[in-house]
Amino acid sequence: MASSSSTISPNEPTSHNKKKPIVIITIGMAGSGKTTFVQRINSYLHSLDPPKPPYTLNLDPAVASVPFEPNVDIRDTIEYKEVMKQYNLGPNGGILTALNLFTTKFDQVLGLMEKRADEVDYMILDTPGQIEIFTWSASGAIITDAVASSFPTVIAYIVDTPRTTAPATFMSNMLYACSILYKTRLPFILVFNKTDVADPAPMMEWMRDFEAFQEALAAEGAGMRDGDGDPTYMSSLMNSMSLVLDEFYKELKAVSVSAYTGAGIPEFFEAVDATREEYERDYLPELERAAKQREKNLRAKKDATLSRFMQDLSMDPNREKMGKWDPAAMDEEEEENEEDDDGEYIDLSEEKGPQPRVEIERARRPGTGGVGINWPRPG
Ligand X SMILES: Nc1nc2c(ncn2[C@@H]2O[C@H](COP(=O)(O)OP(=O)(O)OP(=O)(O)O)[C@@H](O)[C@H]2O)c(=O)[nH]1
Residues binding ligand X (CB under 6 A): 28, 30-36, 60, 63, 129, 193-194, 196-197, 258-260
Residue among 63 and 287 whose Cβ is closer to ligand X: 63
Residue among 41 and 181 whose Cβ is closer to ligand X: 41
Could you give the CA distance from residue 31 to residue 74 in angstroms, rounded to a whole number?
19
Residue among 194 and 253 whose Cβ is closer to ligand X: 194
CB of 192 to ligand X, least distance (A): 10
Residue among 28 and 167 whose Cβ is closer to ligand X: 28
CB of 28 to ligand X, least distance (A): 5
Q: What is the rounded (10 degree) CA torsion for 237, 30, 24, 200?
A: -60
Backbone angles phi, psi at 71, to 5 degrees: -70, -35
CB of 24 to ligand X, least distance (A): 14
CB of 34 to ligand X, least distance (A): 4
Question: Residue 372: what residue type?
Answer: G
Task: Report yes or no: 216 and 204 within 8 Å, Cβ to Cβ.
Answer: no
Long-range contacts, stretch 315-321, CB < 8 angstroms, 24+ apart = none
Residue of 164, 189, 191, 195 lying closest to 258 (CA atoms): 195
Residue among 31 and 223 whose Cβ is closer to ligand X: 31
DSSP β-bridge partners for residue 156: 26, 189
CB of 26 to ligand X, least distance (A): 8
Could you give the CA distance from residue 135 to residue 24 in angstroms, rounded to a whole number?
15
CB of 202 to ligand X, least distance (A): 18
Residue among 149 and 258 whose Cβ is closer to ligand X: 258
Task: Report yes or no: 134 and 27 within 8 Å, Cβ to Cβ.
Answer: yes
Could you give the CA distance from residue 262 to residue 269 in angstroms, rounded to a whole number?
12
Residue among 49 and 69 whose Cβ is closer to ligand X: 69
Task: Report yes or no: 192 and 256 within 8 Å, Cβ to Cβ.
Answer: yes
Task: Report yes or no: 132 and 176 within 8 Å, Cβ to Cβ.
Answer: no
Q: Measured at CB, which residue is nearest to ligand X?
A: 129
CB of 75 to ligand X, least distance (A): 13
